[in-house]
Amino acid sequence: MADFLGMMKQAAQFQSKMKAMQDELDHIEVEGTSGGGLVTVRMTAKMDVKGISIDPSLIKPDEREILEDLVVTALGDARRKAEVAMQEKMQALTGGLGLPPGLGFS
């Protein structure tokens, strides 16, 4: 019975830590770029886009498709960085739990 109570206590602590980590992910921002820095996207580790910056030299009506491609590329770069930030936080949280393979978070 003591083992069960210990597991329940550990689960409650883990749940509390998960909530705190989720809150923290709202405040972690990453920046994705494309076109050698001509397009920049800022987003949180929870993948909420916070801003897009486009160099004025790219704003030409006849080059709209190039600009659109650069925005998509910068968004992808920011998303990958956000995923890495989230995985690092999850690994820090679950690292000491000794979860069986496949039961970790990604």
Per-domain residue ranges for the chain?
27-89
- Domain 27-89: which CATH class? alpha beta
Choice between 28 and 102, residue whose per-residue pLDDT is larger: 28
pTM of the model: 0.60
Neighbours of 36 (CB within 10 A): 8
Residue 91 pLDDT exceeds 80: yes
Residues 6+ apart with CB under 8 A from 77: 32, 33, 34, 41
% of the chain exceeding 90 in pLDDT: 25
pLDDT digits (tens, 9 = 90+) for 37-88: 999 999 888 888 888 999 999 888 898 898 889 999 999 999 899 889 888 8
- Compute, in degrees rounded to 10, the torsion defined by CA atoms 26, 29, 30, 35: 120
